[in-house]
């Protein structure tokens, strides 16, 4: 498997009135072609910023530095805006948390879909063009599981339920057959049933087209059976990466352990009893702790934690902690 | 704050009003406008002390005298005199009462009445609410100056009628904006939370909703004030407002029009005064609006 | 105390205007009746648009029903009578920031219910608010904070503080936990469990997270298009649901580790 997206030591700093704030601090991510990678991070962890940096939606107030930000061996940071946009347009797509907010409220869905298709490489003209577009739209919508195609195409975004709107956005993302799909909490605001539908659609894209996916989510409970690898990020720092099964069964990082227990994944926990928690609250961007940012909340923290732990690699897993929960054999 | 090396320093987010004030202070143009307006206000209040002469005192030896920096000017009359030999500077200083003081008064009265009715309409529902607001929509559809003209035409051109006209014209705008603000604020969650706390209607109105719409009121107030100033000046210019000997800026401009070629300076000072006043008020209103909007985001 | 909170035939519909004179009634809740015993925890589940929120809002008193009654300990609660209702039923709001007045400090807002519903002196009220702040895990300093200075978890705590201030018998919550971060959510769940133990309060909450429902609820009420399709104890519904919808709503999508 080749690595399609290679991020090494990515730092995004925001210019604020009180100086630069590193919202993402030394982040690493390697996406293998065709995998589903889930990135778990609580609010303020910089996960949305990361997604935007990958796709190149960069604000002028961001300072982005990285040892490597490579997309299929091409350095994204060295490119100018036009090249970057071309790559994003051809190879990447993103699905946002709130679909209704980025569909144009004044245009019918059909019109918006044909706008997306209009950039399709085929060159049709006139009536044939209209017919072909129609054909493509029908295909796309069927693929994401919408039956009532005419009604949906003729309605405005506000008339659609969240679930359908999100399916439309999946269809839009799909129109160009991107190689990478970044989904930022695609169904967190939806009910259980719609949520599982959306996830199923997304996972099918992976199995059918081998699309690489970066799923960004807030908690571990969202459907993850399909995920191959898992990254946990806290307050802009990478805590742990590894294959899903390994991370879940024997977490290396205290944060992962706590997240697992808090997310009810530990089935041994009887109802109506107190959950184990991390004390304190998530640090705001004005008051980030030095060293390991989990430090003040970490049950295993000691004095050395004011220094940033190095990312340790053990076989397929990586974690950044001075006191990992798993044994590291010294010769490795 | 941060420059003082206080070892107990802790970051503390400022209150909403402090935030607006900070934002306000960041822009040098706004700060300038703020001070210019303050100076104009002070000049208005202390005109009897600052003005060298009475506004109606005529100097027969100095008719249509150019400003002091002109070779023919005299130091006695810094900005020159008009065709009746009255000191322009004194007239403009005293005139601020008519051209800024009275509009201010009219706006305050209009604001009190408008906010009361607007709040009432905003807190009521259904027919009562729509009667109160839509009845006044008719009034809103007529330009304020035209309406003031009609009122003055019926009641006759005196200072009192002009004041009544301006006040009446401004009231609907206040009612409308306050009503809308109340209406959107009323359905917000924190108001519902207060309602569920068992608060009285009066408390809800004054302590919960009103502090949150002050921004709307302040912005509306600045717009209304600049409208009032321009309207009074326009009425004066047309000869329908404050009557002749009174040193109202619009009236002064109208008079100086007759002698534009002979003594252009006589229209300089009242014109500049009018321009500066309206400009500073508009800048302040606009930047306040922007500061509040930015904070909301 | 068998019929602690009794809800009978509760109905609510929204009117949708179609053109000039045509109206369409959209039923949000259709004749719901159920009884809650004191100290129980009831979870209301259902898909989006099934009327969970409406049910919670009706019990809290934010909206008024078109038919039906809510009775608490044999006393019927009248709509619009906030003063008497707020001593018995309180609500935890979902969005901490939106449900707090940005212009007033936390303390001022927490004093509000005491000011209107007790005859205590100012110092007593203040003392009580400070105690309550401590009870929900906040510091006395937070009394003087403005809402925008607090983090999401702290705001959730303030919301809870406001709900328990008047020692209510029933607390309702609409998705109060769903939007929180996992580490904060666990803290808040613990806080709720603590408070329930301490105060013996009845909790009615709506949620679309099966994990939370399984963890907290004694009984589950399943809504579908405004109708109550199941109401039974949590264990019964998990082990033996009558409706397929119940099963899919309570299915945790859990990973087999």
pTM of this structure: 0.81
Closest alpha carbon within chain B to C159 = B193
pLDDT tens digits along C174-193: 877 777 888 888 888 888 88
Q: Which chains lie within 8 Å of chain C at 3 or more CB pairs, if any?
A: A, B
Q: How many whole angstroms separate alpha carbon C166 and alpha carbon C90?
A: 8
Q: What is the ipTM of this complex?
A: 0.82
Structure tokens belonging to residue A127? 């009536």
* Contact residues for B65 (Cβ-Cβ < 8 A; gap 6+): B72, B73, B74, B77, B80, B81, B85
3-state secondary structure C172-233: EEECCCCCCCHHHHHHHHHHHHHHHHHHCCEEEEECCCHHHHHHHCCEEEEEECCEEEEEEE
Return the CATH architecture of domain C1-88+169-252. 3-Layer(aba) Sandwich (3.40)
Structure tokens belonging to residue C114? 């005491």
C178/A59: higher pLDDT: A59
Name the residue among A140, A63, A84 with its Cα closest to residue A109.
Answer: A140
Average pLDDT over residues A307-326: 83
Q: Which chains lie within 8 Å of chain A at 3 or more CB pairs, if any?
A: B, C
pLDDT tens digits along A75-132: 888 888 888 888 888 888 888 887 777 788 888 888 888 888 776 666 667 777 788 8
pLDDT of residue B12: 58
Mutate: best of A217, A225, A246, A275, partner C, most C CBs <10 A: A275
With contacts defined as CB-CB under 8 Å, which chain B residues touch C142? none
Q: With contact defined as beta carbons under 8 Å apart, do C203 and C42 qualify?
A: yes
Q: With contact defined as beta carbons under 8 Å apart, do B200 and C115 qualify?
A: no
- Domain spans of chain A, in order of start: 3-227
The answer, yes or no, to whether residue B10 has pLDDT greater than 60, is no
pLDDT band at residue B39, thresholds of 50, 70 and 90?
Answer: very high
pLDDT band at residue C254, thresholds of 50, 70 and 90?
Answer: low
pLDDT band at residue C257, thresholds of 50, 70 and 90?
Answer: very low
pLDDT band at residue A268, thresholds of 50, 70 and 90?
Answer: low
How many Cβ pairs closer than 8 A exist between chain A and B? Answer: 4
CB-nearest partner of C98 from B188, B198, B199: B188
The answer, yes or no, to whether residue B13 has pLDDT greater than 70, is no
Residues of chain B contacting C, Cβ within 8 Å? 12-13, 15-17, 188-190, 192-200, 203, 207-208, 211-212
Q: How many whole angstroms separate alpha carbon A222 and alpha carbon A40?
A: 10
pLDDT tens digits along B96-143: 888 899 999 999 999 999 999 888 888 777 777 777 777 777 777 778
With contacts defined as CB-CB under 8 Å, which chain A residues touch C255? 224-225, 244, 248, 265
Counting Cα atoms < 13 Å in the Cβ hemisphere of B229 gives 25
pLDDT tens digits along B172-192: 888 888 888 888 888 888 888
The answer, yes or no, to whether residue C79 has pLDDT greater than 70, is yes
Average pLDDT of chain B is 83
pLDDT of residue B4: 45
Q: Is A131 helix (H, G, I), strand (E, B) or coil?
A: helix
Average pLDDT over residues A131-139: 84
Closest alpha carbon within chain B to A285 = B11
- Domain spans of chain C, in order of start: 1-88+169-252, 94-167
Counting residues of chain A whose pLDDT is more than 90, the rounded percentage is 0
pLDDT band at residue A329, thresholds of 50, 70 and 90?
Answer: low
Average pLDDT over residues A292-297: 83
Q: With contact defined as beta carbons under 8 Å apart, do B97 and B71 qualify?
A: no
pLDDT of residue A1: 60
Structure tokens belonging to residue A211? 């699309």
pLDDT of residue C252: 65
CATH number for the region A3-227 comes to 3.40.50.300
pLDDT of residue C48: 77
Q: How many whole angstroms separate alpha carbon A75 and alpha carbon A73?
A: 7
Compute the nearest-CA separation of A88 from chain B (Å).
Answer: 29
Q: How many whole angstroms separate alpha carbon B123 and alpha carbon C144?
A: 30
pLDDT band at residue B279, thresholds of 50, 70 and 90?
Answer: very high
Domains of chain B with bracketed CATH: 19-296 (1.10.3720.10)
pLDDT band at residue B3, thresholds of 50, 70 and 90?
Answer: very low
The answer, yes or no, to whether residue A331 has pLDDT greater than 60, is no
Closest alpha carbon within chain B to C113 = B197
């Amino acid at each position: 498997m080749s690595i399609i997206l290679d991020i090494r030591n990515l730092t995004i700093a925001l210019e604020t009135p009180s100086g630069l704030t590193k919202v993402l601090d030394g982040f690493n991510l390697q996406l293998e072609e065709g995998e589903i990678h889930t990135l778990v991070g609580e609010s303020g962890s910089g996960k949305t910023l990361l997604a935007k940096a990958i796709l190149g939606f960069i604000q002028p107030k961001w300072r982005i530095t990285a040892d490597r930000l490579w997309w299929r061996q091409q350095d994204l940071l060295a490119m100018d805006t036009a090249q970057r946009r071309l790559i994003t347009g051809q190879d990447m797509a993103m699905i946002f948390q709130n679909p209704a907010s980025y569909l144009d409220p004044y245009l019918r869905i059909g019109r918006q879909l044909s706008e997306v298709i209009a950039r399709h490489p085929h060159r049709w003209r006139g009536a044939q063009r209209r017919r072909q577009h129609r054909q493509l739209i029908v295909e796309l919508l069927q693929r994401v599981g919408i039956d009532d195609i005419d009604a949906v195409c003729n309605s405005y975004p506000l008339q659609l339920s969240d679930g359908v709107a999100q399916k439309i956005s999946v269809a839009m993302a799909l129109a160009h057959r991107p190689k990478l799909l970044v989904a930022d909490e695609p169904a967190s605001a939806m009910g259980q049933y719609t949520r599982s539908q959306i996830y199923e659609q997304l996972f099918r894209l992976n199995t059918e087209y081998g699309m690489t996916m970066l799923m960004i989510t807030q908690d571990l409970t969202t459907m993850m059976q399909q995920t191959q690898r898992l990254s946990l990020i806290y307050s802009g720092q990478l805590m742990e990466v590894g294959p899903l099964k390994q991370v879940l069964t024997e977490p290396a990082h205290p944060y992962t352990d706590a997240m697992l227990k808090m997310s009810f994944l530990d089935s041994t926990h009887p109802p109506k009893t107190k959950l184990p928690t991390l004390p304190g609250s998530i640090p705001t961007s004005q008051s980030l702790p030095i060293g390991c940012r989990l430090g003040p909340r970490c049950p295993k923290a000691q004095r050395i934690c004011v220094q940033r732990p190095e990312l340790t690699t053990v076989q397929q897993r990586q974690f950044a902690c001075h006191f990992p929960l798993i044994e590291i054999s010294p010769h490795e | 704050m941060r420059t003082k090396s206080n070892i107990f320093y802790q970051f503390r987010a400022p209150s909403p009003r402090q935030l607006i004030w900070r934002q306000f202070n960041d822009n040098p143009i706004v700060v300038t406008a703020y001070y210019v307006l303050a100076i104009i206000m002070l000049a208005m209040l202390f005109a009897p002390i600052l003005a060298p002469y009475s506004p109606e005192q005529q100097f027969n030896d100095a008719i249509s005298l150019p400003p002091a920096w002109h070779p023919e000017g005299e130091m006695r009359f810094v900005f020159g005199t008009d065709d009746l030999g009255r000191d322009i500077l004194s007239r403009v200083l005293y005139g601020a009462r008519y051209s800024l003081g009275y509009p201010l008064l009219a706006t305050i009265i209009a604001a009190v009445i408008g906010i009361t009715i607007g709040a009432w309409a905003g807190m009521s529902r259904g027919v009562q609410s729509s009667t109160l607001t839509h009845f006044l929509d008719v009034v809103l559809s007529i330009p304020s100056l035209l309406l003031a003209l009609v009122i003055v035409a019926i009641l006759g051109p005196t200072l009192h009628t002009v004041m009544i006209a301006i006040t009446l014209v401004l009231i609907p705008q206040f009612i409308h904006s306050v009503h809308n603000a109340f209406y959107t604020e009323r359905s917000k969650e924190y108001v519902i939370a207060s309602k569920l706390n068992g608060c009285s209607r009066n408390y809800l109105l004054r302590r919960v909703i009103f502090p949150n719409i002050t921004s709307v009121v302040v912005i509306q107030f600045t717009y209304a004030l600049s409208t009032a100033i321009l309207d009074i000046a326009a009425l004066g210019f047309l000869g329908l407002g404050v009557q002749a000997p009174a040193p109202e800026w619009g009236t002064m401009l109208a008079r100086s029009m007759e002698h534009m070629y002979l003594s252009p300076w006589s229209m300089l000072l009242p014109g500049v005064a009018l321009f500066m006043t309206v400009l500073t008020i508009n800048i302040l209103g606009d930047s306040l609006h922007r500061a509040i909007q930015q904070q909301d985001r | 105390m068998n019929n602690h909170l009794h809800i009978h035939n509760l109905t609510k519909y929204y009117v949708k205007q179609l053109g000039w004179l045509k109206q369409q009634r959209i039923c949000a809740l259709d004749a719901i009746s159920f009884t809650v015993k004191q100290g129980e925890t009831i979870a209301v589940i259902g898909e989006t648009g099934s009327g969970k929120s409406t049910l919670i809002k009706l019990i809290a008193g934010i909206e008024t029903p078109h038919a039906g009654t809510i009775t608490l300990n044999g006393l019927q609660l009248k709509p619009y009578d906030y003063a008497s209702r707020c001593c018995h039923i309180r609500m935890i709001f979902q969005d901490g920031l939106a449900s707090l007045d940005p212009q007033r400090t936390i303390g001022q807002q927490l004093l509000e219910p005491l000011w209107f519903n007790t005859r205590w002196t100012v110092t007593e009220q203040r003392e009580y608010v400070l105690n309550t702040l401590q009870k929900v895990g906040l510091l006395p300093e937070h009394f003087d904070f403005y809402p925008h200075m607090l983090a999401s978890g702290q705001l959730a705590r303030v919301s809870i503080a406001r709900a328990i201030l008047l020692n209510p018998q029933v607390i309702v919550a609409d998705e109060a936990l769903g939007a929180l971060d996992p580490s904060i959510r666990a803290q808040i769940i613990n806080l709720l469990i603590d408070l329930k133990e301490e105060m013996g309060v009845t909790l009615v909450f709506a949620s679309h997270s099966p994990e939370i429902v399984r963890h907290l609820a004694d009984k589950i009420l399943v809504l579908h298009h405004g109708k109550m399709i199941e109401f039974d104890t949590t264990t019964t519904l998990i082990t033996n649901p009558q409706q397929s919808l119940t099963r899919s709503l309570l299915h945790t999508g859990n990973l087999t580790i």
